[in-house]
């Protein structure tokens, strides 16, 4: 399971950087990306915890969804 500590660390970094950097600062943008990534991992983990048992069909559908999102399938 993803670590909530990693999310809190990323959120803290964003908060600290927001005070001293402009919105288009590359360091702030990277910190925001890391925070969003940690948030996404936590949300996916929670969804998996609530999901029914993974069948081969469900697994294929999830893989297909991720492939479309990442651009692996046009």
Distance (Å, whole) CA 18 – CA 26: 12
Q: Are 32 and 11 in contact (CB under 8 A)?
A: no
At residue 51, φ and ψ (nearest 5 deg) are -75, 155
Distance from chain centroid for Cα 56: 24
Q: Are 35 and 11 in contact (CB under 8 A)?
A: yes
pLDDT tens, position by position, 41-73:
999 999 989 999 999 999 999 899 888 877 765
pLDDT value at residue 25 = 97
- Residue 56: in which H helix or E strand, if any? helix 56-70
The answer to whether the pTM exceeds 0.85 is no
Top-confidence residue, 1 or 32: 32
Total domain count, the chain:
1
Segment 11-38 mean pLDDT:
97
Host domain of residue 38: 4-70
């Amino acid at each position: 399971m993803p670590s909530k500590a990693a999310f809190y660390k990323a959120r803290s970094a964003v908060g600290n950087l927001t005070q001293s950097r402009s919105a288009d600062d590359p360091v702030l943008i990277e910190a925001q990306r890391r925070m969003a990534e940690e948030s996404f991992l936590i949300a996916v983990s929670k969804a998996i915890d609530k999901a029914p048992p993974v069948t081969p069909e469900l697994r294929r559908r999830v893989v297909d969804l991720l492939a479309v999102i990442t651009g692996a399938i046009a």
